[in-house]
Structure 1
Amino acid sequence: MELRDFEIKQRNERAMKAVEKYGNELWHYTDFNALNGILNEKKIWFGSTASMNDKDELSGFIKDLKSAVLLEIDKENVSKAERIFEKIQKRLLVEYPYIFCVSRAYNDAAQWDRYAYGGTGVAIVFDTELLYKLIFYNRFIMNEEYYGYNAKQHKMKTLLVDYIQDNKMEEFSDIDGLIDNLLLCAMIHKHESFSAEQEVRLSPYFIKNDDSHLEYRVTETIRRIYVVDLNELCQKENMVLDDLIKAIVIGPKSKQNIEDLKWYLNKINLPGLAGKVRKSDCPLR
């Protein structure tokens, strides 16, 4: 993709801000099947937020926000507020966020235990700057996760109250635009008990049920996933996986042989990554 000078400058500036905010590395804790999917099949799976480990994903923020809004509006506007929140719920039935999770927590015992199958899996360590540049002009967003809802203090509460009470829209052209913003806010808020995850989320814009990138994955259940062709994306942005990935870290309880993993990386034509393999020194029991 040929970018104009000002586009390159903008992307570079934003990428450096991402590095300042998140650090030089972002870790994706996973299993070896997913590792093979990313490195060999060149695919990244984005999971639906409906199947995340926080059972109140999205809904917790929305419920908290609704309660805060209802406390501040006149009684005659309650039905209007109810209609808006009903519209929000209907949107979520046909247009749901999909995310790929990385973490600022480096070589973290809790992350190994929860997301890398008790430490028997693997972590892919991404270069933050390059990861941000990869997605910047391709309709993906990167956001830090916030823990705790605090809807009473959130700007969305004020925006909704102003619209419900006085039909004020501020920077939004219509109610759908306001709801878009609300759902994006809900997507980056989780219950405070998950704060140790230090999660950063990559997400395509809202995906409809008939999107061609949607596929199914069969594990213990059948789940929808949004699949991105990583090879295509890298070629478009003139990047290679050897640069995008800073390290491959074998889990502290994994039985994976380092030399076999290096052989595998050479076998799938990623020799540059073979020299980036290491074993975690996390003393997870």
Structure 2
Amino acid sequence: MLERKYTAKPEECLYHYCSAETFLAICTGKKIRFSDINSMNDSQELQWGYKVWEDAATELHKLVGVDFLDDIDDIIHASSARGLGLASCFSKTGDVLSQWRAYAADGQGYAIGFDSEVLTNMASLPLEILYNREKQLEEVKNAILAIYKVQESQNHSRDDGFSYACFRLYADLVALKNPAFYEENEVRLLHLLNTEISNNSLKLTDSGGTAFEKELPPSEITFFMRDNCPVPYIDLSFSNEKFKAPIKEVILGPKNPALPLGISIFLETVGLPSVVVKKSKASYR
């Protein structure tokens, strides 16, 4: 299968660039927001990964057969119809000018450096984004061949294991992005909502999950408006007994007038101890 699942590394931070208002909400509420992946900055967010799947399938159709590929494609489409992906986005780098411009109020905001182990313990699937188009195609082809090999050994049973493998392929396609975004160096947390029939329509529901080795109850699904359209989101807590210092570092944007000492006092006061606070080194007016 694809190797997109991110594994936390000791002492590694993952940074969330945000405005001052979002910084305040995250630090006081001890929660991270997961919102509809279709509302992200890349207008081809989901289409890109699916196009890679199509190209990979085209190259392999003579080897594995069209019927096999059609069965995978059916599950991919069914998966997208049965659920909605919510994501929260982080970067491995905490002081990149393009990030400040795009996600932190044009350099006036913050980059919050979370302990990577905290994030990988939340009720989500951590995915490391791949930007290289050739490597994307190779990974998807390898995933298809891996599924095919297992199916051959099982006389093409199309059992629950096949369905799950195809669903994981669908989820991992989310981790393939346009090379134009390579500077983001992104790790993405993915949380899936369910869709259920309701009267003459559908509604979104949450199944909860496992966080910090405990069962997490379903979260309340809320909406905000973007471009006159309601966007669903949930807020998941990163507060837990295992990690006493979930935030390791905070970087003030290049146009942020706040004093590092003042931010340090704020963080200690709201119960986020021992955070290293510093100014961005980027030169930006």
TM-score bracket for the superposition, by shorter chain length? 0.7 to 0.9
CA distance in 1, matches of 2:156, 2:185: 33
Q: Alpha carbon RMSD of aligned pairs, Å?
A: 3.4
Is the Cα contact below 8 Å between 1:38 and 1:230 reproduced in 2? Answer: no
Matching residue of 2:8? 18
Residue 217 (1) aligns with residue 219 (2) = no
CA distance in 2, matches of 1:37, 1:170: 49
Is the Cα contact below 8 Å between 2:250 and 2:277 reproduced in 1? Answer: yes
Q: 1:164 to 1:170 in 2, by over 3 A?
A: closer
Q: Which one-letter code corresponds to 1:248 in the other structure?
A: V
Q: 1:68 to 1:259 in 2, by over 3 A?
A: closer
Matching residue of 2:198? none
Matching residue of 1:11? none
Matching residue of 1:52? 40
Question: What SS does the aligned partner of 1:190 have?
Answer: coil
Q: Name which of 90, 93, 97 aligns with 2:81.
A: 93
Matching residue of 1:178? 165
User: How many angstroms does 1:164 deviate by?
Assistant: 9.2
Is the Cα contact below 8 Å between 1:102 and 1:199 reproduced in 2? Answer: yes
Matching residue of 1:189? 176
**Unaligned runs of at least 5 residues, structure 1:** 1-14
Cα deviation code 1:114-142 (max 9, x no counterpart) = 1112111111112234444xx1xx54332
Q: Name which of 197, 203, 207 aligns with 2:193.
A: 207
User: How many angstroms does 1:188 deviate by?
Assistant: 1.3
Instruction: After TM superposition, list the pairs within 5 Å mapping 1:155-174 onto structure 2.
Output: 155-159=142-146, 173-174=160-161
Is the Cα contact below 8 Å between 2:76 and 2:167 reproduced in 1? Answer: no
- Corresponding pairs, count: 255
Q: Name which of 126, 129, 138 aligns with 1:153.
A: 138
CA distance in 2, matches of 1:225, 1:195: 26
CA distance in 2, matches of 1:152, 1:41: 40
Matching residue of 2:279? 279
CA distance in 1, matches of 2:168, 2:155: 15
Q: 1:55 to 1:165 in 2, by over 3 A?
A: farther
Is the Cα contact below 8 Å between 1:48 and 1:98 reproduced in 2? Answer: yes
Matching residue of 2:55? 67
Matching residue of 1:122? 110
CA distance in 1, matches of 2:70, 2:163: 15
User: How many angstroms does 1:156 deviate by?
Assistant: 2.2
CA distance in 2, matches of 1:263, 1:139: 30
Q: Which one-letter code corresponds to 1:251 in the other structure?
A: G
Q: Which one-letter code corresponds to 1:109 in the other structure?
A: L
Q: 1:166 to 1:53 in 2, by over 3 A?
A: farther
Residue 229 (1) aligns with residue 237 (2) = yes
Matching residue of 1:8? none
Is the Cα contact below 8 Å between 1:69 and 1:161 reproduced in 2? Answer: no
Question: What SS does the aligned partner of 2:112 have?
Answer: strand
TM-score of the aligned structures, taking structure 1 as reference length? 0.74
**Unaligned runs of at least 5 residues, structure 2:** 1-5, 195-203, 207-217
Residue 37 (1) aligns with residue 25 (2) = yes
CA distance in 1, matches of 2:252, 2:37: 27
Matching residue of 1:253? 255
Q: Which one-letter code corresponds to 1:46 in the other structure?
A: F
Q: Which one-letter code corresponds to 1:247 in the other structure?
A: E
CA distance in 2, matches of 1:218, 1:153: 38
Is the Cα contact below 8 Å between 1:70 and 1:81 reproduced in 2? Answer: no
CA distance in 1, matches of 2:46, 2:157: 24
Greater share of helix residues, 1 or 2? Answer: 1
CA distance in 2, matches of 1:129, 1:229: 14
Greater share of strand residues, 1 or 2? Answer: 2
Residue 144 (1) aligns with residue 128 (2) = yes
TM-score of the aligned structures, taking structure 2 as reference length? 0.74
Is the Cα contact below 8 Å between 2:94 and 2:251 reproduced in 1? Answer: no
CA distance in 1, matches of 2:150, 2:51: 18
Q: Which one-letter code corresponds to 2:276 in the other structure?
A: K
Is the Cα contact below 8 Å between 1:46 and 1:226 reproduced in 2? Answer: yes
Is the Cα contact below 8 Å between 2:111 and 2:251 reproduced in 1? Answer: yes
Is the Cα contact below 8 Å between 1:258 and 1:277 reproduced in 2? Answer: yes
Q: 1:88 to 1:131 in 2, by over 3 A?
A: closer
Q: 1:149 to 1:49 in 2, by over 3 A?
A: farther
